[in-house]
């Protein structure tokens, strides 16, 4: 059995290191499977080519800054197709040319042969190595290779960014032959998306991402004379990490910059003491039986936010924007204004309305719904506009089921999952707080939530995400047909901040003022908790 002596370039496929010389006087290429006797290189046949492919010549690509030597290495030719000048990128599979990617002067492309069979462009040149660079197109691959003296393995995706994932999946075994894989796709939206799709497919710990600075692609850097910078981009590529992975060394600066103090103090001292207030970047969910007063409770919280000079956006989907606004003003005046038309029309009320709500409250005129077919794009758009366009600090969404009311039958759970996941991301990104109202499912018993039944997390209707994603969950309990139909119990069901849960207050809903009272008097003062 012959012994290996050294690596040499292949005389057939031009691979720089896949040819192996043995002490029996023969050489073998592990890229294209060519086999020849040392000294008889001129007798070795050219690589097999599928029928229907065309021939060309090797020329410098002057407008691209690519030399004829680089084109010869990659078997990238210039020729004609149907009487039109074309550039010919030859693609291999198992040492044979199986397809050609033709580039016309106006940057139109067509394939000759079967593109589904091809390897990555340039893959036939290198079978293994320390570092492999992956670009988005053939010109970029040759640009990087030329900048590095045509000594570093560089390949490209056969059909650009959009099909990159498919071709990488087909050639995964090839990537295992390299110690390091540098992704250098185009510096645009498509290239960024392709990088995010391809990187997780490749061997863990081997992938790095190269930065092209302000340039769109590698060839643009080459043409601008930034050859040294292009080489540095390869050597200084940063290790790939999935979104969300943070090292401990990076985290301390984020910890010391984060303020865990409350952004809002609840008017009910014990609720504040249990929850330590409300914070931006968190979701508070309020729930309870039908007509138990969930909207009234959260609207009163909204009043407190406005009185503390914070901007609030109301997405109240079970009532008109006019009703929401006049109810807020009524809470301010401790009067149920919607029940007194004459009072609404007074000059004093109009003046107070303008002073109190003009620049602090925003409303969404919804026409009964936001989302359709589990699509949360509209909800995202509205929340984002309120936060960025209006400067809202807090969003009140009443209620989550109505927000996805356009979902197809049986899809409410999926729609709520999607909506809550989106909201979770938005509160973190936009640094806002959000209060969400949710309904309860009907109990299979004679005593429902409206009849005084206790509320628990597993009673939330529509999705497990309702109990999992919010930071704080509060509930109202009461018996609407009992001896005390205006009495409520305020309960904390979940408290991710401090873990303190249980009953907070016995409340009484005052039908004259629309406010909730504790121990038969309105708590107008604020007290901080034991923060």
Report residue 402 CA to chain centroid gap. 25
- Count of beta carbons in the 10 Å neighbourhood of residue 495: 17
pLDDT attached to residue 414: 81
Contact by Cβ (8 Å): 282, 260: no
Q: 250, 252, 271: which is closest to 262 by C-alpha?
A: 271
Q: Say how far apart CA 349 and CA 343 lie, in whole Å.
A: 7
pLDDT attached to residue 3: 75
Which residues face 208 on adjacent strands? 182, 239
Q: Say how far apart CA 218 and CA 212 lie, in whole Å.
A: 7
pLDDT per residue rounded down to tens, the chain (531 residues): 467 788 888 777 666 666 788 887 878 776 666 777 888 777 666 667 778 899 999 999 999 999 998 998 899 999 999 999 999 999 998 878 999 999 999 888 999 999 988 999 999 888 888 999 999 999 999 999 999 998 899 999 998 888 889 999 998 999 999 999 999 999 999 999 999 999 999 988 899 999 999 999 999 999 999 999 999 999 999 988 776 666 666 677 767 666 678 888 888 888 888 989 899 989 999 988 888 888 889 999 998 999 888 999 999 888 888 888 888 888 888 888 777 666 667 777 777 787 777 778 898 887 645 554 445 677 888 889 999 988 999 999 988 877 776 555 457 778 888 888 888 989 988 999 999 998 887 877 777 777 778 888 888 877 788 888 899 999 888 888 888 888 888 999 999 988 888 888 888 888 888 888 875 444 433 333 332
Q: ω before 75 within 30° of 0 (cis)?
A: no
Q: Where are the beta strands (DSSP E) in 367-501?
A: 394-398, 433-438, 472-477, 487-495
Four-point Cα dihedral 154, 157, 160, 164, nearest 10: -130
Q: 339, 304, 320, 271: which is closest to 514 by C-alpha?
A: 339
What are the residues whose beta carbons fall under 8 Å from the beta carbon of 314, sequence distance 6 or more?
302, 321, 324, 361, 362, 363, 364, 396, 398
pLDDT attached to residue 110: 94
Assign residue 386 a region (left: φ > 0; alpha: ψ between -120 and 50; beta: otherwise): alpha
Assign residue 25 a region (left: φ > 0; alpha: ψ between -120 and 50; beta: otherwise): left
pLDDT attached to residue 159: 87
Q: Say how far apart CA 112 and CA 52 lie, in whole Å.
A: 7
Q: Say how far apart CA 513 and CA 523 lie, in whole Å.
A: 13
Q: Say how far apart CA 205 and CA 224 lie, in whole Å.
A: 33
CA atoms within 13 A on the CB side of 8: 17
Q: How far is CA 381 from CA 310, 375, 391, in A?
A: 21, 11, 14
pLDDT attached to residue 174: 92
36 membership: H or E segment, kind and range: strand 35-37
pLDDT attached to residue 179: 93
pLDDT attached to residue 247: 64
pLDDT attached to residue 91: 95
pLDDT attached to residue 342: 60
Q: Say how far apart CA 451 and CA 293 lie, in whole Å.
A: 14
Three-class secondary structure assignment of 100-158: EEEECCCCCEEEEECHHHCCCECHHHCCCEEEEEEECCHHHHHHHHHHCCCCCCEEECC
Long-range pairs for 113-118 at CB < 8 Å and ≥24 separation?
113/50, 113/52, 113/53, 114/50, 115/91, 115/158, 115/159, 117/93, 118/91, 118/92, 118/93, 118/158, 118/167
For the chain, the first-to-last Cα distance in angstroms comes to 78
pLDDT attached to residue 99: 94
């Amino acid at each position: 059995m012959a012994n290996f002596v050294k690596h040499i370039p292949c005389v057939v496929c031009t691979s720089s290191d896949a040819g192996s010389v043995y002490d029996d006087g023969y050489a073998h290429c592990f890229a294209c499977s060519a086999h020849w006797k040392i000294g008889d290189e001129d007798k070795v046949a050219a690589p097999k080519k599928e029928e229907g492919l065309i021939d060309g010549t090797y020329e410098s690509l002057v407008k691209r800054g690519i030399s004829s030597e680089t084109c010869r290495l990659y078997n990238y030719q210039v020729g004609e197709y149907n009487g039109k000048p074309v550039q010919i990128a030859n693609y291999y599979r198992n040492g044979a040319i199986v397809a050609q990617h033709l580039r016309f002067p106006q940057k139109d492309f067509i394939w000759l042969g079967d593109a589904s069979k091809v390897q990555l462009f340039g893959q036939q040149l290198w079978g293994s190595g320390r570092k492999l660079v992956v670009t988005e197109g053939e010109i970029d691959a040759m640009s990087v290779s030329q900048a590095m003296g045509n000594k570093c393995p560089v390949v490209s995706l056969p059909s650009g960014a959009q099909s990159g994932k498919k071709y990488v999946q087909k050639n995964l075994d090839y990537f295992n032959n390299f110690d390091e894989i540098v992704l250098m796709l185009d510096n645009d939206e498509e290239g960024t998306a392709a990088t995010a799709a391809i990187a997780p497919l490749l061997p863990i710990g081997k992938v790095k991402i190269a930065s092209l600075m302000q340039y769109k692609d590698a060839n643009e850097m080459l043409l601008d004379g930034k050859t040294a910078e292009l080489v540095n981009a390869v050597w200084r590529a940063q290790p790939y990490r999935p979104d969300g992975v943070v090292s401990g060394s990076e985290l301390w600066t984020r910890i010391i910059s984060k303020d865990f103090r409350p952004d809002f103090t609840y008017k009910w001292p014990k609720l504040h003491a249990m929850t330590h207030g409300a914070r931006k970047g968190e979701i508070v969910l309020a729930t309870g039986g039908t007509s138990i007063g969930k909207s009234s409770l959260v609207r009163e919280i909204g009043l407190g936010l406005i009185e503390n000079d914070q901007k609030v956006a109301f997405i109240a989907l079970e009532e008109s924007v006019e009703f929401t606004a006049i109810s807020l003003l009524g809470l301010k005046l401790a009067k149920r204004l919607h029940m007194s038309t004459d009072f609404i029309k007074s000059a004093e009320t109009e003046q107070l309305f303008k002073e109190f709500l003009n620049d602090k409250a925003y409303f969404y005129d919804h026409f009964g719904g936001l989302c359709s077919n589990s699509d949360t794009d509209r909800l995202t758009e509205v929340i984002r506009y309120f936060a960025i366009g209006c400067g809202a600090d807090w969003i009140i969404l009443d209620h989550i089921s109505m927000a996805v009311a356009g979902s197809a039958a049986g899809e409410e759970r999926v729609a709520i999952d999607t909506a809550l996941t989106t909201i979770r991301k938005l509160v973190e990104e936009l640094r806002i707080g959000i209060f969400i109202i949710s309904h309860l499912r009907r109990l299979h018993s004679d005593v429902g939530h409206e009849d005084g039944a206790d509320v628990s997390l597993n009673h939330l209707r529509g999705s497990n995400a309702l109990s999992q994603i919010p930071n704080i969950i509060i509930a109202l309990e009461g018996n609407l047909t009992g001896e005390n139909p205006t009495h409520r119990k305020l309960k904390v069901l979940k408290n991710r901040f401090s873990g303190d849960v249980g009953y907070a207050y016995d409340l009484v809903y005052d039908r004259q003022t629309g406010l909730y009272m504790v121990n038969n008097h309105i708590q107008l003062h604020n007290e901080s908790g034991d923060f």
